[in-house]
Amino acid sequence: MAITVVGSVAFDSIETPAGRRERCLGGAATYFSLAASFFTDVRVIAVVGEDFGKRQEAVFQARQIDTRGIEHTSGKSFFWEGSYLENLNEAKTHITDLNVFAAFEPKIPEAYSDSEFLFLANIDPVLQRRVREAMPQVKLVAGDTMNYWIKDHRPALLEVLNGLDILLINDTETRMLAGNSNLVQAARAVMALGPKTLVVKHGEYGATLFHKSAPKGKGAELRAPALPLEEVVDPTGAGDSFAGGFFGYLASQPEQTPAVFRRAMFYGSVMGSFACERFGTERLQQLSRKEIDDRFTLFRELTHLD
Amino acid sequence: MAITVVGSVAFDSIETPAGRRERCLGGAATYFSLAASFFTDVRVIAVVGEDFGKRQEAVFQARQIDTRGIEHTSGKSFFWEGSYLENLNEAKTHITDLNVFAAFEPKIPEAYSDSEFLFLANIDPVLQRRVREAMPQVKLVAGDTMNYWIKDHRPALLEVLNGLDILLINDTETRMLAGNSNLVQAARAVMALGPKTLVVKHGEYGATLFHKSAPKGKGAELRAPALPLEEVVDPTGAGDSFAGGFFGYLASQPEQTPAVFRRAMFYGSVMGSFACERFGTERLQQLSRKEIDDRFTLFRELTHLD
């Protein structure tokens, strides 16, 4: 089943202990789409400027991603510059230039209207809600957010959460959103705001799946590992790639059973681990389905007793 | 097979968000022994003062732990006071009174000399080495250490590491010992110092098993989860309890195969999770083998796809 994703398509300048890259193709919707495209059809809604040309377009086309919803406008694309020199787990932001993103008004192509899956990447919750409302036919809606929206745009965010089936956020965001430092209690509080399912991402320590419908007293449903990597070249986009693998796998299955959710967690971890292996989206662009399946097997070996 | 453990038996005053306890029975050897005693025979080498009486002795006796190696001397037992008010993952130490521990000269009872398993809990590496050398018959030696010994007593520590089969330390200690921030590279560097097996403990995120004999290019062997707990009452001793469950299970098995090592990681996580549920050793004292097996099953469900 096709996924529509709305979010940023951007250029990133990134510095890590492994080196520096100027103006890589980036943005949450880019990482998400590339990762999800190995599992199902993906359609993007975003806005870019005149600096987004044929080379960038070709990255999406090579993975058969539908870009008819990427609006081209005058000006420059969203630009982010950051570094991970001291801590690979947390980016230090140097520059955020919203550019054409500042006036982003998501437009949904008619051709996208039969999408049954919708992913609201981390953007202004007002826009997330607008897209959600414009696509009432979707069967399953997942989304992401960040500390900025949790702190300063809570009312708008709460309206989005109320309409979400699945929320994917990190530890800090979960605790901040719930105002509770215990992960299990915080997860329950976050799910009380709307999402039936919560995926808490722990960076290099993997991710935890929570279901609202779990029997009373039951905490987490599944803890998926991250792969301890020999070399983390660039962690940018790992969380969005996790979301793409997770939601892409979910959308590829005829039914979203508990067992499918569990496998989706592992596919999320697999795609997140690949994203870190090279700068920007380089590794996701070069990936094969066989590599994905082999790493899935490796994750199974890394966690299973027999 | 019997395990001999050398380490601290102490009193701890602990404050956590769940409350405060004065002078609980504590110390690495205490937590380790209690946890390991559910799997195999345990013998302790330690020193205590006049404040260690029948009540404390009874805690060991209730679990059939051999305390003939606990030397009673005049003065006070090792005392630690700490809190976890801001961060449950890291204790803030207020008081460390070595007391009788300052002049600790481990004495090994004759009756311990057929122990095939030896655990060197976190104490001065000079003492760890002395005990190791006095027990040349042991088949498998595991040990722990901490940042203080890594930073300021490196030569003595290196001599201990050289004689260890298994080292159990946390993330920060691994990176500090190796001088490398990448976990996989750091693990390899630490194993090059001696231990054939390294267990890196990640607190609330579980633990990772590394084997020196792994094929080239292979990173971690197994990642065991920690149980996301509804309420962490007191994390004191969780790492020592992990070590007790891990090494206790290893010692209980006829052979230490790779599959046994993997199960041992899960038993370690199980015992660490119980330790956090009440203050001090309260939960370990009240535990049943059935509860341990049930939680092992829960850990399997939390990590396995089917």
Find the residue in A nearest to B85 (Cα): A181
Record the tokens describing residue B34, joined without a space.
């209690």
End-to-end CA distance of chain A: 33
Whether the per-residue pLDDT at B219 is higher than 90: the answer is no
CB–CB of A205 and B208 under 8 A?
Answer: no
Exposed/middle/buried for residue A46 (C-beta within 10 Å: 0-12, 13-18, 19+): buried
Report d(CA A58, CA A53) in Å as an integer: 9
The predicted structure's pLDDT at residue B94:
96
- The pLDDT confidence band at residue B209, using thresholds 50, 70 and 90, is very high
How close A287 gets to chain B, by Cα (Å)? 19
Which chain A residue is nearest to residue B185, measuring alpha carbons?
A: A230
> Do A243 and A286 form a contact (C-beta atoms < 8 A)?
no
Q: Which residues of A1-17 are buried (b: 16+ CB within 10 A; e: fewer)?
A: bbbbbbbbbbbbbbbbe
pLDDT above 70: percentage of residues in chain B:
100
Mean pLDDT value across residues B215-240: 89
Q: If pLDDT is split at 50, 70 and 90, which confidence band does B115 have?
A: very high
Is the pTM value of this prediction over 0.90?
Answer: yes
Q: Give B85→chain A minimum CA distance, Å.
A: 11
Interface probe with A: pick from B249, B305, B306, most Cβ of A within 10 Å? B305
pLDDT (tens digit, 9 = 90+) per residue, B19-29? 999 999 999 99
Query: Which residue spans within A129-232 are E strands per DSSP?
Result: 140-143, 166-170, 197-201, 207-211, 222-224
Residues 195-214 of A with CB under 8 A from B: 202, 204-206, 208
Q: Give dist(CA A104, CA A81) in Å, integer.
A: 20
Gap between the Cα atoms of A298 and A230, Å rounded:
14
Q: How far apart are CA B251 and CA A56, in angstroms?
A: 58
Q: Looking at beta carbons, which residues of chain B come within 8 Å of A298?
A: none
Q: Are residues B141 and B164 in contact, defined by beta-carbon separation less than 8 angstroms?
A: yes
Beta strands across the sheet bearing B19-26: B19-26, B10-16, B78-83, B92-97
Give the span between the Cα atoms of A149 and A270, in whole angstroms: 28
Q: Is the CB of residue B105 less than 8 Å away from at least one CB of chain A?
A: no
Query: Can you give the pLDDT of all 306 residues of chain A as single tens digits?
Result: 999 999 999 999 999 999 999 999 999 999 999 999 999 999 999 999 999 999 999 999 999 999 999 999 999 999 999 999 878 888 999 999 999 999 999 999 999 999 999 999 999 999 999 999 999 999 999 999 999 999 999 999 999 999 999 999 999 999 999 999 899 999 999 999 999 999 999 999 999 999 998 877 778 999 999 988 888 999 999 999 999 999 999 999 999 999 999 999 999 999 999 999 999 999 999 999 999 999 999 999 999 998
Both tokens assigned to A69: 């919803």
Q: Which residues of A225-245 are buried (b: 16+ CB within 10 A; e: fewer)?
A: bbbbbeebbbbbbbbbbbbbb
B14 closest CA partner among B78, B121, B77, B95: B95
Check if the beta carbon of residue A17 is closer than 8 Å to that of residue A50: no
Q: Would you state the pLDDT for residue B215?
A: 79
Task: Identify the pLDDT of residue B231.
Answer: 85
pLDDT at A88: 84
* Nearest chain B residue (CA) to A188: B230
Please report where in the chains the tokens 């007793």 appear, as a residue: A305
pLDDT (0 to 100) of residue B86 = 79
* 3-class SS of residue A208: strand
CA of A156 to nearest chain B CA: how many angstroms apart?
Answer: 29
Of B220, B230, B232, the CB nearest to A302: B220
Q: What token pair was written down for A226?
A: 């991250």
pLDDT at position A296 is 97
ipTM > 0.85 (yes/no): yes
B17 to chain A: which residues are within 8 Å by CB? 181
Cβ neighbors of A133 (< 8 A, separation 6 or more) are: none
Q: How confident is the model at residue B301 (pLDDT cuts 50, 70, 90)?
A: very high
A228 to chain B, any CB pair closer than 8 A? The answer is: yes
Give the pLDDT of residue B34: 98
CB pairs under 8 A between A and B: 89
Cβ–Cβ below 8 Å for A305 and B229: no
| B66-97: b (≥16 Cβ within 10 Å) or e | bbebbbebeebbbbbbbbbeeebeebeeeeee
Give pLDDT, residue A215: 79
What distances in angstroms separate CA B189 from CA A230, B174, B198, one per listed residue? 12, 9, 11
In eight-state DSSP terms, residue B39 is T
The C-alpha R_g of chain B, in whole angstroms, comes to 18
Query: Is the four-CA dihedral A189, B304, B183, B172 of positive or negative sign?
Result: positive
B193 Cα to chain A: minimum distance (Å) = 19
The string of pLDDT tens digits covering residues B151-161 is 999 999 999 99
Kindly report, residue by residue over B15-70, the tens digit of the pLDDT.
Answer: 999 999 999 999 999 999 999 999 999 999 999 999 999 999 999 999 999 999 99
